[in-house]
Amino acid sequence: MTAPARGESPTGHPTVDDVEFRALYKKTKYLVETADGWSLVITRYRPVPQAFPQPLFGEPMLLVHGFSQNRHAWTSGEFVKNLLYFGLDIHILELRGHGKSSLELQHERAAKFGKKPPPDLQWDWDIDTYFLYDLPAAVAGVRRITRRERIFYCGHSMGGILGYGYAGIHHDHFDGIVTIGSPAELGKGSLPLKLLAFAGPGLELSVDAALGGLNLQRSAAHTLGAWAARVTKKDPGAAPRKLQYRYLPIDTWLKLAADALGYAEESPVLSLIANRITWLTRWDRMSMDNMRWLLKEGGEKEPRKVVEQFLRWIRAGEVVCYRTGYDFQRGFSKIKVPMAIIFGDLDPLASLKSTSSVYRSARSEYLLWRPVKGNSHIELTMGHDIRQICYDIKNLVEYARTHRGRSPSLPRIR
């Protein structure tokens, strides 16, 4: 099934463009508690019955964002609106340290309930933490809230990688899984990523050395100031806080990029340059207002350990949970639920080469592996082509609904 063109409705029912977004849902939020003490926020868009058919009404779907993102990765465009149009019950997880699942929330809840904050609160977690604690808590939370044994899962980028790993173990928790821009072999077919991964340890040492030098200078200056304060009997002030590389300040970088984009938008020449040099985004495939909003509101700091694990995966050509030894790639053959693997044909992170192994290994009876023409990485959840992506999701959910409880017996649908 293909998506109707904008403004067309072969059935006579209103199209998604004709419907007011706010009329499609009731928004709430709820908390899920991880086994290691974090409180994570899930934002729920519960569908409201409409006069037109909603073929997927009430089917719960968990959305999980990617690296350094938050809930706005899904809501900056009309991705959620398109899914609500079909009646899906949307639950958006924000991983620890992202969006509403903030460090401040952990301090507030620790004070409220008289407990200690989580031990890794100061950016001391990695991808294993997301996989072992955040994702299980979210899946259990959605299942509990909706009273469903199985739910649907949709992950973008890193969120999709986490979904691959989870589906390879807990096949009885999902009715279907969708990944958007999610590589199965990071760096495969991308020389720049390979070079960055091998240069990573050296760059980190350089950053540590530079910060160490600054700390020595600041400490020496404070010591001299303290001696002078003894003579003048003035308050020398508190010792300077030690500078450490704990996280990448991606939120700050993206806000600066949003301001720069504003200047580029006013200049045809700068706009053309931005379109040519972009790596993960195609400016011509999305609304500039949506893009600037995402840059300002959708970026988050990402811990050093998360970055290091990604680079280690690329160097070693593996996707592994190092704490348990679980190999995501070996688990691909255990994925049996309906699955859609969607990526941009211009995406340097998730490409034909870097997604092919999960497609060839998965044992799903319904298995879609599809590039979206003219797209890179970011615009897949907020660009002009999300309608066809959402119809891919609709088709998968409809298939799963009509085949619940049936054992695979037919050739895979590809």
The structural domains of the chain, with segments of one domain joined by +, span 16-188+317-402, 190-248
SS3 320: strand
Give pLDDT, residue 409.
47
- In the structure, what pLDDT confidence band is assigned to residue 175 with cuts at 50, 70 and 90? very high
Task: Give dist(CA 246, CA 63) in Å, integer.
Answer: 27
Of 4-13, 70-79, 175-184, 295-304, the poorest mean pLDDT is in 4-13
Q: How far is residue 323 CA from its own chain's centroid?
A: 22
Strands 174-180 and 339-344: parallel
Report pLDDT digits (tens) over 301-329: 999 999 999 999 999 999 999 999 999 99
CATH number of 16-188+317-402: 3.40.50.1820
- In the structure, what pLDDT confidence band is assigned to residue 242 with cuts at 50, 70 and 90? confident
Give pLDDT, residue 5.
52
Give pLDDT, residue 219.
63
Please give the C-alpha separations between residue 179 and each of 8, 59, 138, 154, in angstroms, as whole numbers. 28, 18, 17, 6
Of 166-180, 213-227, 259-273, 328-342, the poorest mean pLDDT is in 259-273
- In the structure, what pLDDT confidence band is assigned to residue 186 with cuts at 50, 70 and 90? very high
End-to-end CA distance of the chain: 14
Sheet of 25-33, strand order: 25-33, 39-47, 89-93, 60-64, 151-156, 174-180, 339-344, 367-372
Amino acid at 64: V
Give pLDDT, residue 410.
45
Pick the more confident residue, 279 or 41. 41
- Average pLDDT on 349-367 reads 96
Where helices occur in 284-407 by DSSP H, the ranges are 288-297, 304-316, 328-331, 352-361, 386-402
Against a cut of 0.75, is the pTM above it? yes
Task: Give dist(CA 28, CA 44) in Å, integer.
Answer: 5
Show contacts of 145-148: CB within 8 Å, 24+ apart: 145/30, 145/44, 145/91, 146/60, 146/89, 148/60
Number of CB atoms found within 10 A of residue 103's CB: 16
- In the structure, what pLDDT confidence band is assigned to residue 228 with cuts at 50, 70 and 90? low
- Average pLDDT on 78-90 reads 98
- Average pLDDT on 22-28 reads 98
- Average pLDDT on 41-54 reads 97
Task: Give dist(CA 320, CA 128) in Å, integer.
Answer: 8
| Contact of 380 with 386, CB cutoff 8 Å | yes
Give pLDDT, residue 277.
45
- In the structure, what pLDDT confidence band is assigned to residue 266 with cuts at 50, 70 and 90? low
